[in-house]
């Protein structure tokens, strides 16, 4: 049906609408709409091919390839003179230095997209496009200024200057009273429009990113009247990354004046220079706010009260270099009360990152119910944090803690956790009440953490699909708790098991474990490990990839799993050197091993007694005699 409708549309449009791909021939004079689909890596715009199409209303480039691909053809000076009927001109990604002066002839142009162009500035003549309503300059990374006559574009409604290098806005921006979408406003230090020019632009919609707020004076900030722009959905306020101040109170006063309308949904504040935030940040009157990001407030010593925002779903906090403690002010219950209150009642995602001085996280009193629906908690790179983490998070499904070496707090209790990711947190203790979330856990990553952990029981995680343990320096054994009645225990959800850099790991459960869905088993740099789980051929029927690296004491494998597709063995000297010796007194079928499509063996010492040619010949002879049905067999033995 879709193809039928498409064919019908093309038939009805006839020669008026032309759709071409790649290189194309001459476009007829009757064409009104031309769509060029860029489907190859190095296309070219054939300007000569459209010289006859003087009645074109629309010329668009639609790119189906990587955005980084650039065009090299330049726009002929006289071409735009002939295309006087153009309403839409989209040249996204075309490599050129800018439009020629003949653009002034496109008096009917409504839509102009030059996104990705490599120009440093727009020509002054663009100010004559009085009917222009949309101008897109997204990703013009070399663009440093807009023309002085920009204010003459009195009908412009949509201006997108995201990811440009503008230093200031042209003068008289207040003349663009029809402007409804303004992506960015750059405040110049000495030149350009002041932020006060935004005051009369009362119809702004969508998002607005205000750059270089350190250049704003108090009077100008008041004239901006952001609190009157009821259609703004997202506001970003940014002080320069390397900026500084001698008056933090003035910075707070300026932030006060930049208070948005209460309809706002998303707020981001970067590199704020005050010591504390304005009271409007976190005020419960902002009932529609869903997202807040506060980043780079190097002088701020406390967080604003955000716990009373009724609709807040995601909160990101980062790089508060002066923040040492988070207390009751964060939740909004600074006074003691016997009345039960709720903080962060709608928050689902909390990210706290790169807090170099943060040491203490005080939890609210017992009458405050906080984080009732929190699903994701991320705490990254907080090297001085010791505690305390939130105690009860009933809805938590994802817990990520990284690079918090001094953290000694108990982990949150929850009955819904699915992903448990702890990295570089050596002082943490493995939760003694792990049973509180073991039934729901599907992925567990323990990297360079839990230095006190010696035994890890697999069978208490019945739904675990992926286990990755690395750098647990005191881990001695992977065990079975004894709570399961079946012997060997069945881990019928486990798909991936990786263990690395555990120098004291000695063994797996002696009775083994049944893992019918396990496809990957990887063990690396476990110097004391002497054996793999027994009966792998029966207990791991789905195993297709086996990696054994730097485990010098691992003993020979009695029976290899038959469905292996990839085997990688590196510096497992006992395994390699004794595999053939074991064969002489045990009925080992090496064809199980050679059934692998990729078989890699590398060792430094074993080849002094067992040469690579001997190993190959023993394997190869058996493989060819009893596995001739194999269509492909790849062996690589590295010296």
> What is the arithmetic mean of pLDDT over 622-630?
36
Is residue 68 predicted with pLDDT exceeding 80?
no
Is residue 605 predicted with pLDDT exceeding 50?
no
Cα–Cα distances (Å) from 535 to 118, 206, 515, 532, in that order, read: 63, 62, 11, 9
- Provide the pLDDT for residue 504: 95
- Provide the pLDDT for residue 97: 61
- 343 or 512, which is more confident: 343
CA 294 to the chain's CA centroid: 18
- Provide the pLDDT for residue 30: 74
CB-count exposure of residue 636 (10 Å: 0-12, 13-18, 19+)? exposed
- Provide the pLDDT for residue 634: 32
3-state secondary structure of 568: strand
Per-residue confidence band for 75, with pLDDT thresholds at 50, 70 and 90: low
Q: 């839990």: which residue's tokens?
A: 450
Q: What is the pLDDT of residues 1-36, one digit of tens each?
A: 555 555 545 544 556 777 766 666 667 777 888 777
Sign of the CA dihedral with 596 first, then 479, 376, and 348 last: positive
- Provide the pLDDT for residue 314: 98
Residue 59, strand partner residues = 34, 89
Closest alpha carbon to 377 in 303, 463, 314: 314
- CATH of the domain spanning 17-166, picked from 3.80.10.10, 3.40.50.970, 3.40.50.20, 3.30.980.10: 3.80.10.10
Token readout for 213 is: 């707020």
- 622 or 81, which is more confident: 81
- Provide the pLDDT for residue 613: 40
CA 236 to the chain's CA centroid: 19
Q: What is the pLDDT of residues 402-443, one digit of tens each?
A: 999 999 988 888 889 999 999 999 999 888 766 566 789 999
Rg from Cα positions in the chain:
33
Beta carbons of 533 and 513 less than 8 angstroms apart? yes
- 94 or 614, which is more confident: 94
Cα–Cα distances (Å) from 581 to 529, 558, 596, 618, 636, in that order, read: 20, 12, 22, 12, 21
Beta carbons of 87 and 108 less than 8 angstroms apart? yes
Question: Average pLDDT, whole number, for the chain?
Answer: 83
- 551 or 38, which is more confident: 551
Q: From CA 362, how far away is CA 333, in angstroms rounded?
A: 12
Cα–Cα distances (Å) from 424 to 10, 267, 403, 469, 592, in that order, read: 60, 32, 5, 12, 39
Is residue 72 predicted with pLDDT exceeding 50?
no
Q: From CA 96, how far away is CA 82, in angstroms rounded?
A: 20
> Which backbone phi and psi does 593 adopt, to 5 degrees?
-70, -40
Q: What is the pLDDT of residues 255-298, one digit of tens each?
A: 999 999 999 999 999 999 999 999 999 999 999 999 999 999 99
Q: From CA 610, how far away is CA 371, in angstroms rounded?
A: 62
- Provide the pLDDT for residue 421: 97
Q: 């992977």: which residue's tokens?
A: 478
Token readout for 193 is: 């429009």
> What is the arithmetic mean of pLDDT over 346-362?
96
Q: Locate the domains of the chain by residue range.
A: 17-166, 453-482+489-609
Instruction: Give helix 573-585 / helix 612-626 axis angle, nearest 10°.
Output: 50
| DSSP secondary structure, 347-416, as one string | --EEEEE--SS--EEPPPPTTEEE-TT--EEEEES-TT--BPPPSB-TT--EEEEES-TT--PPPPB-S-
Is residue 344 predicted with pLDDT exceeding 90?
yes
- Provide the pLDDT for residue 46: 59
Q: From CA 492, how far away is CA 517, in angstroms rounded?
A: 6
Q: What is the pLDDT of residues 270-281, one digit of tens each?
A: 999 999 999 999
Which residues have a Cβ under 8 Å from the Cβ of 126 and sit 6 or more positions away?
A: 99, 103, 132, 147, 149, 150, 153
3-state secondary structure of 549: strand
Is residue 630 predicted with pLDDT exceeding 50?
no
Residue 448, strand partner residues = none
């Amino acid at each position: 049906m879709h193809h039928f409708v498409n064919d019908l549309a093309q038939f009805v449009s006839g020669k008026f609408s032309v759709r071409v791909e790649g290189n194309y021939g001459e476009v007829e004079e009757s064409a009104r709409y031309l769509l060029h689909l860029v489907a190859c890596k190095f296309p070219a715009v054939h300007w000569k091919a459209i010289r006859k199409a003087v009645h074109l209303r629309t010329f668009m480039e639609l790119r189906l390839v990587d955005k980084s691909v650039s065009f090299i053809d330049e726009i002929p000076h006289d071409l735009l003179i002939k295309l006087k009927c153009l309403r839409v001109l989209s040249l996204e990604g075309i490599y050129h230095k800018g439009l020629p002066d003949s653009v002034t002839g496109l008096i009917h142009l409504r839509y102009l997209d030059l996104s990705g162009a490599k120009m440093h500035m727009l020509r002054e003549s663009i100010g004559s496009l009085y009917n222009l309503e949309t101008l897109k300059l997204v990703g013009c990374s070399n663009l440093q200024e807009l023309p002085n006559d920009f204010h003459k574009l009195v009908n412009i409604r949509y201006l997108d200057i995201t990811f440009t290098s503008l230093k200031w806005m042209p003068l008289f921006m207040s003349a663009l009273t029809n402007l409804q979408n303004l992506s960015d406003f750059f405040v110049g230090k000495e030149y350009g429009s002041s932020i006060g020019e935004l005051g009369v632009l009362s119809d702004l919609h969508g998002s607005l990113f205000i750059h270089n707020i350190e250049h704003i004076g108090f009077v100008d900030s008041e004239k901006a009247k952001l609190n009157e722009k009821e259609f703004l959905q997202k506001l970003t306020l940014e002080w320069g990354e390397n900026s500084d101040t001698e008056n933090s109170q003035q910075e707070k006063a300026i932030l006060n004046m930049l208070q948005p309308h209460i309809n706002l949904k998303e707020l981001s504040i970067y590199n704020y220079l005050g010591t504390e935030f304005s009271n409007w940040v976190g005020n419960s009157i902002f009932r529609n706010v869903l997202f807040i990001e506060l980043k780079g407030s190097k002088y701020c010593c406390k967080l604003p009260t955000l716990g009373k925002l009724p609709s807040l779903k995601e909160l990101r906090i980062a790089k508060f270099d002066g923040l040492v403690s988070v207390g009751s002010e964060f939740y909004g219950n600074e006074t003691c009360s016997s009345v039960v209150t709720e903080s962060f009642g709608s928050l689902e995602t909390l990210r706290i990152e790169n807090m170099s001085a943060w040491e203490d996280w005080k939890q609210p009193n017992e009458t405050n119910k906080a984080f009732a629906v929190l699903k994701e908690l991320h705490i990254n790179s907080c090297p001085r944090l010791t505690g305390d983490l939130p105690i009860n998070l009933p809805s938590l499904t994802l817990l990520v803690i990284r690079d918090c070496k001094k953290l000694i707090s108990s982990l949150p209790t929850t009955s819904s956790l699915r992903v448990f990711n702890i990295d570089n947190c050596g002082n943490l203790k493995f939760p003694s009440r792990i049973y509180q979330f073991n039934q729901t856990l599907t992925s567990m990553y323990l990297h360079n953490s839990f230095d006190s952990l010696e035994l890890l029981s697999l069978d208490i995680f019945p739904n675990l699909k992926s286990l990755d343990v690395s750098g647990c320096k005191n881990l001695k054994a992977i065990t079975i708790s004894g709570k399961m009645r079946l012997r060997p225990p069945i881990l019928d959800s486990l798909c991936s098991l990786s263990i690395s850099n555990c120098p004291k790991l000695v063994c797996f459960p002696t009775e083994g474990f049944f893992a019918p869905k396990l496809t990957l088993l990887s063990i690396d740099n476990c110097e004391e490990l002497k054996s793999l789980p027994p009966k792998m051929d029966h207990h791991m029927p789905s195993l297709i990839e086996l990696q054994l690296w730097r485990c010098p004491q691992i003993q020979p494998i009695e029976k290899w799993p038959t469905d292996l597709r990839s085997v990688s063995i590196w510096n497992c000297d006992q395994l390699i050197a004794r595999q053939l010796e074991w064969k002489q007194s045990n009925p080992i079928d090496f064809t199980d091993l050679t059934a692998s499509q990729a078989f890699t063996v590398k060792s430094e010492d074993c080849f002094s007694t067992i040469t690579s040619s001997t190993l190959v010949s023993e394997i190869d002879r058996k493989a060819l005699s009893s596995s001739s049905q194999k269509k492909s067999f790849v062996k690589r033995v590295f010296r």
